[in-house]
Structure 1
Amino acid sequence: MEATKNSYDFIVVGAGPAGCALASGLARSAQKPKVLLLEAGGRNDDRSLRVDGKRWTTFMEGDLNWGYKTTPQKYCNGRELDYSRGKGLGGGSAINFGVYTVGARDDYDEWAASVGDETFGWKEMQARFKKLETFDSTITLPEHAKHANSVASDHGSSGPLRVGYAVNWEKDLSLSLDAFAAAGHKRNLDHNSGNPLGMAATINSAGSGRRTTAADLLLDAPDNLVVVTDTPVQRVILQGKRAIGVETQGSQYLASRDVILSAGALDTPKILMHSGIGPAADLEKFNIPVVADIPAVGQGLRDHYFVPLILARNPETNDRNTFFQDPAAMEAAMQQWEESNTGMWTRYGCQVGCGWFKSERITSTPEFKALSASVQEFMNRETIPHYEMITHLPIHFMLPDMFKDYSYIGLAAFMMNEQSLGEVRLQSSNPDIPLLFNPRFLENPFDRRACIEIYKHLLEVSRTESFAKDTVSTLIGPASDSDEDILEFWKSFLSSSWHMTGTVKMGKADAGDVAVDGRFRVRGLEGLRVADMSVVPVLTNNHTQATAYVTGATCADVLIKEYRLDG
């Protein structure tokens, strides 16, 4: 094993949203510590990967995706589900669908309460969100203003992440959003205010026709930040109970202060386990010497999931066929984007609507009332939704062989606050082989009942008079409105939202189900921390890239304060 000659103050493993926010924050502090950011994948610097309207296809790029699958899911008809994870600079933000939502203020206040530290409460987290973003509130057409209207004090104007609304919307988006209003649902003109309840246009992780990824946090980085790609970390190097570096395929990198793992909820536990940190019985099964028996490592996996409702529509309501049925038009649009970041690839697939909802139909069920009192109390808090709905999901990008007529609307229902708990576990002593991922979707009876009620609501919205008059047929949906057929539809069509969370859970020092404390330190070890979605103890009610960013930024603040790096 050949060790590198260089040593660093901090090593950050993983260049997704959390890792980039953390590494950038540390490196830009006044003391300018030497920071090494190690990424298993490549640089992802092909400009064409940033086309706003093609955000739905980058996850299909093999070099950008680890290509993970779940174990066969018992309650999903035995299916092995796609469990995509981003690979390369930007991590998940390089392959996600560009929805930028921060969640509910009650999510973060619950996080703070579970840790016993207001560092994680909404007030402090909102300040970090604002510091991260440059928000463009521009709505191009006056008639769209009823769907989006932000308060400047809830947003930032000088951060590295450009977020906002698409300049040009597809013409039937407003019609679809109006259908939710006609069904009696309030509009929420800014879902990033801390209260996501209500329906409106969605803030995107994009600006001026170009997708935003976590790699943007590394632009103009100081010389004391070193970024090394194509370097998978296999294990942490330990001297007794202290982390002193990391080992890759053939090299070692040393840290004088801390090693921080930011490889995500599926891969951070793998690195810990192959370093001898995790459930002792599992480690011993694969002849991995036990350094720290921490049963919580790999447990507590939670995730959002969704199913679609795809409706064929009157072609007069939209003009998608003029674009997607014309290869020449798409090619010309691509040339225009390459020249100026403008054109039809900044219109089609660039703006969706989403909303979060509560439902007494869910809270009145026996399955809800069977949940613990603490869970019921949390789900009844002012800003906590039970589910999410989306309009204008362009599913033809994912199922290209199914669609030749693009006059359709893709609606979707997302389960929030699912109660099934999954796990990730070792399957090999080889650190290059992924863990087994078992989210146990739909295992909890509450989840199954809630999914039925959620989809009934989506069907009702789709059948409002103002919307249904332009629906031609159902392309993808359940066989009937019965509870049995709706549940069977979930089992057959459920997809992960790729929001994996909680596998190296953070909590109070005396809690039995945690692996990390409120300062991101791995229990029982020195010099080793975790800062990514694996530590987040609440499955936040959003599309979790924003939570990953703020987790990394929060860890940077904690380390800067602890080591007096701004002094």
Structure 2
Amino acid sequence: MASGYDFIIVGSGPAGSAVAYGLAQSPKKPKILVLEAGGENGDRNLRVDGQRWLTFMNKDMNWGYKTTPQEHAANRELDYSRGKGLGGSSAINFGVWTVGAKGDYDEWARLVDDDAFAWDRIQARLKQLETFHTQLPADMDASKYVAPRAEDHGSSGPLHVGFAAKWEKDILPTLGIFADAGFPLNPDHNSGNPIGMSVLISSAHKGLRSTAKDLLAGLPENVTLLTGSPVQRIILDGKKAVGVESNGTQYFASKEVILSAGSLDDPRILMHSGIGPAEQLESHKIPVVLPSPAIGQGLRDHAFTPLVYKRTPESGSGRAGFYGNQAAQDEALEEWKKSGTGPWTQYACEAGIGYFKLGDKFTSSPEYLGLPASEQNYLNQDTVPHYEIITHFPMHWFLPDFPKDSLDYFCLLVFLYNAQGRGQVELQSSDPEVPLRFNPRFLESEFDRRAAIESLRDALRFAEFPAFAKDTVGTLAAPKPDATDEELLGYWEQTISSSWHMTGTVKMGKAGDEDAAVDNNFRFVGIDGLRVADMSVVPVLPSCHTQAVAYLTGATCAEKLVKEYGL
């Protein structure tokens, strides 16, 4: 038994670390315990920028979750990776630092009736979290494509973000082709308006990836951090959370317990504490403390499909000489260890990223017009995109049996946005160590299928544009240019993957919202002394890759706690 803490935070991912960071710096220095299920993730070599695509394959750092077989994904079980250890999923993600749309946050504020989530307030927190490095490569003029405004970014936060120091040779020509093909350009996708093609801002600087562990580095003595401490259940005194249990040890908090274990694991901890859908708990003989039918019921996620083309060596990125030569990769790793420079800070470290609106064919479709008026109003906002593109994805690490003679290739990912389908995470055992069953229900919604078809068709405009197509010498993975709706949807079903942006399973809402489990102060409805702060509470599916949103969610919760407790 351990006591003497004011706050206990479960999980050290971006949200949990941001809660700890915000509380720890408050003047009254409350005593904080952070419990992390995994290990230290202490090896600096796990943070090589160009190897950001491989870290998730480290089984010590990944829970290794899978979805249930997905009906509209050829009945495949899809990878549902979640980070394990200090930093949570930020330790294994792909380093995309995107904030989303002003419209996302204003919609969040509307849905929960609280301006704390509106864009101007969120942007102020973003500035406190990041140090945005504006340096661009000295060997190329990227000013036509990159022009962030200083007032949109932070300069003294603990998370170092920015652009790669050296870019692959076809990055700028690719952006030029997008512009010539009629896609708008955007000088800064993190300004609050992501619409257009941009150069990717990454959570990395000088070849070193940033993770949530950076928020926990050098915290004051009032913070205790324990790794190897998975939480099985919340300790309740009636309807009040007073602590948590981890591996038989009980830890007590005099003020609050904050769950930040993520969209897939918050519901597990809650359910094994007797909080959740009553029929699920009863079927596994877990005593019901609080029936809460919303728990686990609002799962949303982004998904993507790849387009991969073999290119002429002259037009490509120059990757073949690096990825096709193990000795060169080994030598580059030694250079990185010594100086943080070299090819592992260039290849697959920079990309084009774009967010786009679809045209009248989409917005006048029966599937679009069948949405509730409030959802249409949200999607019609100027800053809210309908789909996303990322270029220069290192697909040779992900496609089995990638042909070694095709390392001069170009890969573009097409992301499905604004999914209307709602999946579930559900109990499958009375053992709290057994993961829940994860069913995101990809492409089950008619709207999602229509959005998938139109997004892919729009992205194919780039691949078919003459300035790009003239240097394509083969197709490694793509539908044919004149594919029908049915063929485009079939391509999605054969190739779809999760983006690991799981959201909404312990949803935030207004009093009386049947699908909400927490209020706009992150307080769990019906249990005193318990808050939830991570992507599980976010009531919109943000128009971005979600690590920055997770940090901002934690920072917002910390701000509210500091104010409420007069810290």
TM-score, structure 2 normalization: 0.98
CA contact (8 A) 1:175 1:467 kept: no
Alignment deviations for residues 76-122 of structure 1 (CA, whole Å, 9 cap, x no partner): 12111100001100111101101100000110011111111101111
In the TM superposition, what is the alpha-carbon distance from 1:301 to its structure 2 partner?
A: 0.4
Corresponding position of 2:333: 334
C-alpha distance in 1 between matches for 2:147 and 2:396? 30
C-alpha distance in 2 between matches for 1:473 and 1:529? 53
C-alpha distance in 1 between matches for 2:460 and 2:113? 42
Residue range with higher mean Cα deviation, 234-243 or 401-410 = 401-410
Verify: 1:82 aligned to 2:64, yes or no: no
Corresponding position of 2:462: 461
Corresponding position of 1:538: 540
CA contact (8 A) 1:270 1:426 kept: yes
Give the SS at the match of 2:412.
strand
C-alpha distance in 1 between matches for 2:123 and 2:28? 26
Residue 178 (structure 1) aligned to one of 158, 176, 179 = 176
Give the SS at the match of 1:443.
coil
Give the SS at the match of 2:537.
coil
C-alpha distance in 2 between matches for 1:158 and 1:440? 41
CA contact (8 A) 1:264 1:533 kept: yes
C-alpha distance in 2 between matches for 1:368 and 1:48? 46
Corresponding position of 2:104: 107
In the TM superposition, what is the alpha-carbon distance from 1:372 to its structure 2 partner?
A: 1.4
- Long gaps (5+) in structure 1: none
Corresponding position of 1:494: 496
**Number of equivalenced pairs:** 562
- Long gaps (5+) in structure 2: none
- Counterparts of 1:398-437 in structure 2, within 5 Å, are 398-399=398-399, 401-404=401-404, 405-437=406-438
Give the SS at the match of 1:256.
strand
Give the SS at the match of 1:162.
strand
Give the SS at the match of 2:141.
helix
C-alpha distance in 2 between matches for 1:153 and 1:196? 16
Corresponding position of 1:385: 385
C-alpha distance in 2 between matches for 1:481 and 1:473? 17
Corresponding position of 1:555: 557
In the TM superposition, what is the alpha-carbon distance from 1:281 to its structure 2 partner?
A: 1.2
In the TM superposition, what is the alpha-carbon distance from 1:174 to its structure 2 partner?
A: 1.3
Corresponding position of 1:50: 47
In the TM superposition, what is the alpha-carbon distance from 1:471 to its structure 2 partner?
A: 0.8
Counterpart of 1:167 in structure 2: which amino acid? A
Alignment deviations for residues 275-316 of structure 1 (CA, whole Å, 9 cap, x no partner): 011111111111111111111110110000000000000111
C-alpha distance in 1 between matches for 2:163 and 2:398? 23
Counterpart of 1:342 in structure 2: which amino acid? T
Verify: 1:363 aligned to 2:360, yes or no: no
Verify: 1:145 aligned to 2:118, yes or no: no
Corresponding position of 1:226: 224
Corresponding position of 2:241: 243
Corresponding position of 1:504: 506
In the TM superposition, what is the alpha-carbon distance from 1:512 to its structure 2 partner?
A: 1.4
Give the SS at the match of 1:547.
helix
Counterpart of 1:123 in structure 2: which amino acid? D
Corresponding position of 2:20: 23
C-alpha distance in 2 between matches for 1:179 and 1:296? 46
Corresponding position of 2:322: 323
Corresponding position of 1:261: 259
Residue range with higher mean Cα deviation, 172-181 or 497-506 = 172-181
Residue 160 (structure 2) aligned to one of 154, 159, 162 = 162
Counterpart of 2:53 in structure 1: which amino acid? W
In the TM superposition, what is the alpha-carbon distance from 1:400 to its structure 2 partner?
A: 6.0
CA contact (8 A) 1:197 1:357 kept: yes
In the TM superposition, what is the alpha-carbon distance from 1:402 to its structure 2 partner?
A: 1.2
Corresponding position of 2:515: 513
Give the SS at the match of 2:72.
helix
Corresponding position of 2:198: 200
C-alpha distance in 1 between matches for 2:400 and 2:137? 31
CA contact (8 A) 1:265 1:500 kept: yes
Verify: 1:443 aligned to 2:440, yes or no: no
Counterpart of 1:373 in structure 2: which amino acid? A
Give the SS at the match of 2:438.
strand
- Counterparts of 1:340-351 in structure 2, within 5 Å, are 340-351=339-350
Verify: 1:62 aligned to 2:59, yes or no: yes
Corresponding position of 2:478: 477
In the TM superposition, what is the alpha-carbon distance from 1:177 to its structure 2 partner?
A: 1.4
C-alpha distance in 1 between matches for 2:491 and 2:535? 29
C-alpha distance in 2 between matches for 1:72 and 1:324? 33
C-alpha distance in 2 between matches for 1:322 and 1:71? 39
TM-score, structure 1 normalization: 0.98
- Shift of the 31–403 alpha-carbon distance from structure 1 to 2, 3 Å rule, reads farther
CA contact (8 A) 1:179 1:462 kept: no
Counterpart of 1:301 in structure 2: which amino acid? L
C-alpha distance in 2 between matches for 1:95 and 1:359? 32
Verify: 1:41 aligned to 2:43, yes or no: no
C-alpha distance in 1 between matches for 2:228 and 2:202? 29
Verify: 1:396 aligned to 2:396, yes or no: yes
In the TM superposition, what is the alpha-carbon distance from 1:478 to its structure 2 partner?
A: 2.2
Counterpart of 1:233 in structure 2: which amino acid? V
C-alpha distance in 1 between matches for 2:242 and 2:423? 31
- Counterparts of 1:109-128 in structure 2, within 5 Å, are 109-128=106-125
Give the SS at the match of 2:367.
helix
Verify: 1:189 aligned to 2:190, yes or no: no
Give the SS at the match of 2:131.
strand
Counterpart of 2:368 in structure 1: which amino acid? F
Give the SS at the match of 2:12.
coil
Corresponding position of 2:131: 134
CA contact (8 A) 1:39 1:88 kept: yes
CA contact (8 A) 1:358 1:385 kept: yes
C-alpha distance in 2 between matches for 1:458 and 1:325? 29
Give the SS at the match of 1:222.
coil
C-alpha distance in 2 between matches for 1:139 and 1:531? 35
In the TM superposition, what is the alpha-carbon distance from 1:482 to its structure 2 partner?
A: 1.6
Counterpart of 2:485 in structure 1: which amino acid? D
Counterpart of 1:514 in structure 2: which amino acid? A
